[in-house]
């Protein structure tokens, strides 16, 4: 992805993380551009803060899709899907209306928001949008595009049974083209459009029986499965050759992010310090953005306190940390919730080639280049 713009240094240099193992940190993030989204779309009188709920790079890294803002129409609660040209971010930002887009615990490329392989089709909260024509259609919740011509939606029967799942196949016009019934409760967490594979969580009533699967939906095969007692999604990286998952400080003080080889199922690396969700893995590189949360026991109590220490970029191919920083937070008034004021860390995404990070909130989206 060639960016014909000047870079300038921003104060996002490596920060100190108390109590962590000593780690050699090199590199920094350099800001490429910053866009005020409300101003770019000419939106007057926006909601306080103009919150940003999620961001995704297109497969070629040339576009950035952002879910932002919320409002209510006579029919439903809505959000805005904004599509930004990465090389010309202030020129011609495209805007579409989608279902209300507050995605709690949204990380990486979880279903409900993603791109088809060509970068011309976006799936966002039930709506499929064709950028070339501007046309749209609707798919079931938690659908993913395997290719431009094939989308998959997995619906597991509700608990307490988790006895079976129906995978329905759709074309790009949202017409159903087939199905696959499996005798397990499956929850799709990510898709590799490079290899046409799904990362799947097998849901059960017994946490000891929880499994992670790598599935070929077209061939109707389970390629890998392993037991896993840590919550969270496994995201594809490195052209679909690896999957990575953040740790959980709810279960352990030491909660590293881990990656596995898709073809062998074997673990290929983990972070030295905590690498907790939310995470975002580069689709065609060995880089992952992770969050460092530290769990500490409260003195003279049975409870624990969790402290956010920052984000960092980990390269599981080399085992090195490339940059770390403390993100900003956004605050907005959520008129649809009982607790009206919401404060959240800026949402983020990493480009498929692992060279750029997008981060934003309060109506501002910024692009950074990872510098050695």
Distance between start and end Cα atoms, the chain: 17
Tokens at 244, concatenated: 């990575």
Q: Does residue 65 form part of some domain?
A: no
Q: Tell me if 230 sits within 8 A of 183, measured CB to CB.
A: no
Q: Is residue 296 part of a domain?
A: no
CA distance 281 to 257: 11
> Between residues 346 and 208, which one has the greater pLDDT?
346
d(CA 345, CA 291): 11
- Residues 310-327 pLDDT 10s: 999 999 999 999 999 999
Nearest to 23 by CA among 270, 266, 244, 258: 270
> Regarding beta strands 113-115 and 121-124, do their DSSP bridges make them parallel or antiparallel, or are they unpaired?
antiparallel
pLDDT band at 82 (very low <50, low <70, confident <90, very high): very high
**pLDDT at residue 302 above 80?**
no
298 inside domain: no
Separation between Cα atoms, residue 162 and residue 303, nearest integer Å: 32
Query: Do the beta carbons of residue 325 and residue 335 sit within 8 Å?
Result: no
In a domain, 16, yes or no: no
Closest to 108 (Cα-Cα) out of 261, 255, 276, 282: 282
Rounded to whole angstroms, the Cα distance separating 136 from 250 reads 40
What would the DSSP string read from start to end of 37-65? HHHHTT--SPPTT--EEEEEE-TTSSEEE
Q: Which range, of 82-96, 124-138, 182-196, 202-216, averages the lowest pLDDT?
A: 202-216
Could you give the CA distance from residue 274 to residue 138 in angstroms, rounded to a whole number?
39
Residue whose tokens read 């009982």: 338
**Is 127 among the domain residues?**
yes
Strand, coil or helix: 75: coil
Model pTM? 0.88
Residue spans of alpha helices (H) in the chain: 37-40
Q: What is the mean pLDDT of residues 193-199?
A: 95
> Considering only CA atoms, which of 199, 196, 187 is closest in space to residue 155?
187
Q: Kindly state the tokens that stand for 114.
A: 């993603």
Query: Between 189 and 9, where is the model more confident?
Result: 189
Q: Are 298 and 305 in contact (CB under 8 A)?
A: yes
Q: Is residue 259 part of a domain?
A: no
Q: State the Cα–Cα distance between residues 190 and 260, nearest whole angstrom.
A: 14
Q: Tell me the pLDDT band of 202, cut-offs 50, 70 and 90.
A: confident
Position 159 confidence tier, pLDDT thresholds 50, 70, 90: low
Check which CATH number belongs to the domain holding 153 and give it.
2.40.128
- Using DSSP, state whether 283 is helix, strand or coil: coil
Q: Is the pLDDT of residue 301 over 90?
A: no
Residue-range definition of the domain harbouring residue 204 = 111-231
Do the domain assignments include residue 253? no
Q: How many CB atoms lie within 10 A of CB 8?
A: 8
pLDDT tens-digit series, residues 244-284 = 999 888 778 889 999 999 999 999 999 999 999 889 999 99
- Split into its structural domains, the chain has a count of 1
Q: How confident is the model at residue 22 (pLDDT cuts 50, 70, 90)?
A: very low
Structural domain contains residue 150: yes
Counting every residue written for the chain, the total comes to 372
- The secondary structure of residue 239, as a DSSP letter, is G
pLDDT score at 8: 36
pLDDT at 334 over 50: yes
């Amino acid at each position: 992805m060639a960016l014909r713009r000047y870079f300038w240094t921003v104060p996002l240099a490596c920060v100190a993380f108390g109590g962590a193992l000593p780690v050699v940190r090199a590199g920094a993030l350099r800001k490429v551009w910053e866009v005020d989204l409300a101003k770019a779309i000419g939106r007057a009188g926006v909601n306080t803060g103009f919150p940003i709920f999620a961001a995704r790079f297109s497969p070629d890294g040339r576009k950035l899709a952002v879910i932002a803002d919320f409002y209510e129409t006579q029919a439903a609660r809505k959000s805005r899907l904004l599509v930004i040209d990465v090389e010309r971010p202030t020129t011609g930002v495209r805007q579409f209306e989608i279902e209300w887009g507050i995605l709690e615990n949204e990380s990486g490329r979880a279903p409900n928001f993603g791109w088809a392989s060509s970068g011309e089709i976006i799936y966002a909260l039930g709506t499929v949008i064709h950028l070339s024509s501007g046309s749209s259609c609707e798919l079931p919740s938690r659908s993913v595009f395997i290719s431009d011509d094939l989308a998959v939606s997995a619906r597991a029967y509700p608990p307490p049974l988790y006895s079976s799942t129906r995978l329905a196949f759709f074309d790009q016009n949202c017409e159903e083209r087939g199905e696959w019934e499996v005798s397990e409760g499956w929850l799709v967490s990510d898709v590799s459009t490079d290899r046409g594979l799904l990362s799947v969580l097998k849901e059960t009533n017994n946490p000891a029986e929880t499994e992670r699967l790598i599935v070929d939906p077209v061939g109707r095969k389970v390629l890998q499965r392993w037991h896993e007692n840590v919550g969270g999604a496994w995201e594809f990286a490195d052209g679909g050759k690896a999957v990575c998952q953040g740790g959980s400080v709810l279960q352990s003080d030491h909660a590293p992010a881990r990656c596995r080889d898709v073809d062998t199922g074997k673990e290929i690396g983990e972070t030295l310090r905590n690498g907790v969700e939310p995470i975002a893995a580069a689709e065609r590189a060995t880089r992952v953005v992770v969050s460092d949360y530290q769990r500490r026991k409260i003195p003279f109590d049975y409870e624990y306190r969790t402290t956010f220490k920052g984000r960092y970029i980990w390269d599981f191919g080399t085992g090195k940390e490339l940059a770390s920083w403390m993100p900003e937070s956004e605050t907005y008034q959520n008129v649809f919730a009982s607790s009206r004021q919401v404060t959240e860390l800026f949402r983020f995404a990493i480009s498929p080639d692992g060279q750029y990070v997008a981060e934003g909130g309060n109506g501002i989206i910024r692009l950074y280049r990872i510098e050695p």
